[in-house]
Amino acid sequence: MCGIVGYIGKKEKLTKILSCLENLEYRGYDSSGIAYLKDNQINIVKKKGRISNLKDNLEESETTLAITHTRWATHGEPSDNNAHPHKIDKVTIVHNGIIENYLELKDKLQELGIKFKTETDTEVAAALLNKLYNDKKDVFEAILAFQKIARGSYAIGMLIEGDNNLYAIKKDSPLIIALAKDGYFIASDVPAILKETNRYITLEDLEFAKITENSLTVYNQNLETINYEVKVFESGVEQIDKGDFEHFMLKEIHEEDTVVKNTFNYYLEHLDEIPDITSYKKVEIISCGSAYNVGLLGKNLIEKYLDIPVNVQLASEYRYQKQFTNKDTLVIAISQSGETADTLAAVKLANKKGAKTLGIVNVKESSIARETSQVLYTKAGIEVAVATTKAYLSQLVVLIMLVYKSKKIRKELAEEEQLLNEIKELPKMIKELIERKDYYKIAESIYKNDDMYFIGRGIDYYIALEASLKMKEISYIHSESYAAGELKHGTISLIEENTPVIGVISNEDILEKTMSNIKETKSRGANITIITTEEITKSLDSDTNLIVVPKVNDLIEPILMIIPFQLLAYETAKLRGCDIDKPRNLAKSVTVE
């Protein structure tokens, strides 16, 4: 969950190299650092906090060789000392991932007299690489030995004193090497280098690379050179520029009409790329965070329209429970980055059990895309804000298309022409929802509260889960979502005067049930807001705070229902003065378990 950038080539300004790192600040921003070559010496500068702090403490200089890092703390608190890079004797590294056996290794290294200055697993990795290099007198042999000893995940950029080359080592954590005009970059994600080049290669697990100013060589475990494929990234650099918007999150919400349109249009035109999931006896969806919430929506739609049982599991729990996965099971893995460590590990387990695996990811050639039997790409483009918005919607569209494809094949989809017409109108409806101003008024009534609750039944509960997550992620309000009928089984004791309770009602069949639960909280002083459709408003009290969305086919209705919640969370966080794009303690791409 950290950002790595390395550079080797003709002389380049340190500030320019750090500008590449800033494009990855959404991956980690507790601290940052840089190691660079100057006068044949490796200089290291590290600072707690944002990259701007590092820049303020860095001399204006040029270099031909550097590694940089922005950290999301796992081992050791955020501090200057714990920040990367870490140097032990001849070896300096930056590292993304977790060395799981670092304590065992640390004990053994300390017995040899090595002293450690930090609490990090990365310093242990540097010490181990240094010892192996000193023992073997060969950098390749040292890397191979490290890969046999170190357990866990790692993307490592490494410098060796006296050896003016850049080394890249990869296992279970993403790392790319980019080919620029005047040299090479390494990075943990493509957006880092888009202002310099869109040409790159991906390292596979247990591969490593030696990079000189003029050459790139990739090796496998047998020290054989690998013929790598140079890929071209299709999205433009403008996607990492927020333009005239105050925050990336707001920009990305404003892109949702286009994202939904592009994703629907692509798969309606390429229906043959979508598998017919009706041949499976059951479906398992594995994911984390917002992807888990969208998986629950997928469960509701698949079970409702296709009569296939669906089990949605948190990827972080999947490997630690008894699984009933077999060749008749389709396992769907949902991940925006395609690198989510827990989801990737779950996919590998499902593959071992003989299941077919389907990835729904946003990043081509990502680890999950390569590991699954088949992949469906969302068309969200680069998403910078840590709290997902447009990527969530694009995942939902792909799940909807899975249902549509299967219903179409089975010729059971009633009113298909009307549905397709509504899909064409969706971008316009989305744009109108985004441009409304009533979210700010409701945000004004709730932003000073410390607790709030979202409730709904059935599919509305699944929407409430994402609504609540978005609120807590960026506003830091303690927010919970509950199945509406569960309130009276304990949670209603937390309702007091002016506690915000936001109800989700899209299904007229359960309107009366949900409304009775809402009135239970209102009678105890709750501040009520309801997000619903035009048809349902006719049955509601006139004095209730309402956000109304257009009524469309049930299959696509969740797309419209979630947008007001995204904007309500945004406006609330803005009133509270929160760092909306980079919420505290969170990172965009969760590449550690």
Bridging pattern class, strands 31-38 and 62-71: antiparallel
Residue in 257, 230, 529, 240 with CA at minimum distance from that of residue 390: 257
| Backbone torsions φ then ψ of 328, nearest 5 degrees | -95, 10
Structure token pair of residue 146: 């490290």
Cα 573 to its chain centre, rounded Å, is: 20
DSSP 238-281: GGG--TTSSSHHHHHHHTHHHHHHHHHHHHHHTGGGS--GGGSS
Average pLDDT of span 495-515: 84
Round to whole Å and give the CA distance between 105 and 148. 13
Instruction: Tell me whether residue 588 is one of the annotated catalytic residues.
Output: yes
Confidence of residue 239 (pLDDT cuts 50, 70, 90): low
pLDDT of 466 reads 96
Asked if residue 511 lies in contact with residue 537, where contact means CB atoms within 8 angstroms, the answer is no
pLDDT digits (tens, 9 = 90+) for 528-579: 898 888 777 766 665 678 888 999 999 999 999 999 999 999 999 999 999 9
Round to whole Å and give the CA distance between 122 and 172. 15
Residue in 65, 82, 74 with CA at minimum distance from that of residue 31: 82
Task: Give 365-403 as a 3 state SS string.
Answer: CCHHHHHCCEEEECCCCCCCCCCCCHHHHHHHHHHHHHH
Peptide bond into 275 cis (omega under 30): no
- Judge whether 242-413 and 436-582 match in fold: yes
Q: How far is CA 395 from CA 167, 440, 579, in A?
A: 36, 27, 25
Instruction: State the catalytic residue, choosing from 47, 131, 299, 588.
Output: 588
CA-based R_g, the chain, Å:
25
Residue in 316, 294, 477 with CA at minimum distance from that of residue 390: 294
Residue in 119, 121, 115 with CA at minimum distance from that of residue 94: 121
As assigned by CATH, the class of the 3-239 domain is alpha beta
Round to whole Å and give the CA distance between 221 and 507. 57
* Whether residue 122 has pLDDT greater than 60: yes
In 463-519, DSSP assigns E strands to 478-483, 500-505
pLDDT of 538 reads 66
Which of these CATH numbers, 3.40.50.10490, 1.10.10.10, 3.40.50.1110, 3.20.10.10, describes 242-413? 3.40.50.10490
Structure token pair of residue 77: 């608190």
Sheet holding 356-361, edge to edge: 310-314, 282-287, 329-335, 356-361, 374-377
Residue type, 190: V
Round to whole Å and give the CA distance between 310 and 319. 18
DSSP 531-585: EEEHHHHTTS-TTSEEEEE----TTTHHHHHHHHHHHHHHHHHHHTT--SSS-TT
Asked if residue 397 lies in contact with residue 360, where contact means CB atoms within 8 angstroms, the answer is no
**Topology of domain 436-582, per CATH?**
Rossmann fold (3.40.50)
pLDDT of 233 reads 79
* Whether residue 117 has pLDDT greater than 80: yes
Structure token pair of residue 304: 């409702």
How long a stretch of residues is the chain?
Answer: 593
Asked if residue 209 lies in contact with residue 218, where contact means CB atoms within 8 angstroms, the answer is yes
pLDDT of 514 reads 82
Peptide bond into 85 cis (omega under 30): yes
Confidence of residue 151 (pLDDT cuts 50, 70, 90): very high
**DSSP run (H or E) holding 428:** helix 416-435
By the 10 Å C-beta count (0-12 exposed, 13-18 middle, 19+ buried), 584 is classed as exposed
| Backbone torsions φ then ψ of 83, nearest 5 degrees | -65, 155
Residue 52: Cβ within 10 Å count: 13
Residue in 88, 97, 164, 173 with CA at minimum distance from that of residue 131: 88
158 vs 521 pLDDT, higher one: 158
Round to whole Å and give the CA distance between 99 and 220. 21
**Eight-class DSSP state of 588:** S
30 vs 473 pLDDT, higher one: 473
Tokens 């333009």, residue located: 243
* Whether residue 237 has pLDDT greater than 60: no
DSSP 3-state of 221: coil
Under 8 Å CB-to-CB from 7, ≥6 apart: which residues? Answer: 17, 20, 63, 65, 66, 67, 166, 183, 184, 185
Residue 445: Cβ within 10 Å count: 14
* Whether residue 502 has pLDDT greater than 70: yes
Where do the structural domains in the chain lie, given as residue ranges? 3-239, 242-413, 436-582
**Eight-class DSSP state of 225:** B
pLDDT digits (tens, 9 = 90+) for 375-395: 999 999 888 888 999 999 999
Instruction: Tell me whether residue 408 is one of the annotated catalytic residues.
Output: no
Q: Rounded to 5 degrees, what angle do the CA atoms 133, 136, 137 make? A: 70
* Whether residue 404 has pLDDT greater than 80: yes
pLDDT digits (tens, 9 = 90+) for 463-476: 999 999 999 999 99
Confidence of residue 587 (pLDDT cuts 50, 70, 90): low
Task: Give the whole-number percent of the chain exceeding pLDDT 90.
Answer: 59
Average of per-residue pLDDT values in the chain: 89
Instruction: State the catalytic residue, choosing from 2, 20, 288, 578.
Output: 2
* Whether residue 487 has pLDDT greater than 80: no
Residue in 362, 579, 395, 561 with CA at minimum distance from that of residue 473: 579
* Whether residue 22 has pLDDT greater than 90: no
Round to whole Å and give the CA distance between 48 and 195. 26
Asked if residue 260 lies in contact with residue 393, where contact means CB atoms within 8 angstroms, the answer is yes
**DSSP run (H or E) holding 80:** none
Round to whole Å and give the CA distance between 485 and 489. 8
Residue in 360, 367, 379 with CA at minimum distance from that of residue 340: 367
